[in-house]
Each structure stands twice: as structure tokens, then as C-alpha cells.
Amino acid sequence: MRITQTVLYVFAVIAMISLVAFIKNDYILAAIYSGVIVVSIMLKKEKTDLLFLTIGFFGSMIGEYFFINTGVETFSRTTLFGIMPLWLPFLWAFIFLAAKRVFWILVKKNL
């Protein structure tokens, strides 16, 4: 069961990243990512989910902003503040949530 849950989270992240190549509309992609987050929360709500989503969303936005301003990263899709894709913070928010959940799945196994 734990391996299945872990694989599902990894698969979800890989699928979300893969969608970037197929869906060129950043608004649609952000909506899809938001839907994945909502479904994930509806299926299993944990105490700190909102905290991890918030940190993932805003923390990544700030981090990406600094990476872009230092020239470390560049994006051709710039629908958020004219510098990065709108969907990117949603992707990072889900990655933070998935990483937290996988961490606890693995930790609980060893308790």
C-alpha cells in the first residue's frame, strides 16, 4: 500500500510536468493543476496540507523570481508577472504537498 501511494504521487508529478509539452495555454494548465490539488485534498485531507501548499506556491514564486532575475533561469512562457508561467507555482505547490505526504508515508513505515 505504501509503495502504491508513493508511486501514485510520483506518477502524478511526472504527468503534470509532461502536460507542459502538450497544453500550450498557461491558464488551462493552471486550472488543471488546481484541479489536481483540489482532488488530492478531497481524497485525503491532512492537517498541514494548506501550509505546505501555501509555502510551495508562494515560496516557489519568490524563488523563481530570484532565479529569473539573476539569469539562472528564463522562461518563454511569461503569463505570471511577465516573467514566468502562471502554472509554475501550482506545480510547485503540488510537489511540496506530494513530497510531504510521501515523506510521512515512508516515516510511518519505520516508526
pLDDT tens by residue, 61-99: 999 999 999 988 999 999 999 999 999 999 999 999 999
Per-residue pLDDT at 111: 63
Residues 6+ apart with CB under 8 A from 12: 36, 40, 94, 98
Positive or negative, the Cα torsion across 99, 18, 59, 43?
negative
Please state, in angstroms and rounded to a whole number, the distance separating the CA atoms of residues 32 and 19: 9
CA–CA dist 50, 69 (Å, integer): 28
Q: Of 90, 102, 85, 103, which Cα lies nearest the Cα of 37?
A: 90
Q: State the pLDDT confidence band at 3, using cuts at 50, 70 and 90.
A: confident
Is the model's pLDDT at 1 over the cut of 80? Answer: no
What's the confidence (pLDDT) of residue 96?
97
Range of the domain at 59: 2-109
User: How high is the mean pLDDT of the chain?
Assistant: 94
Domain count, the chain: 1
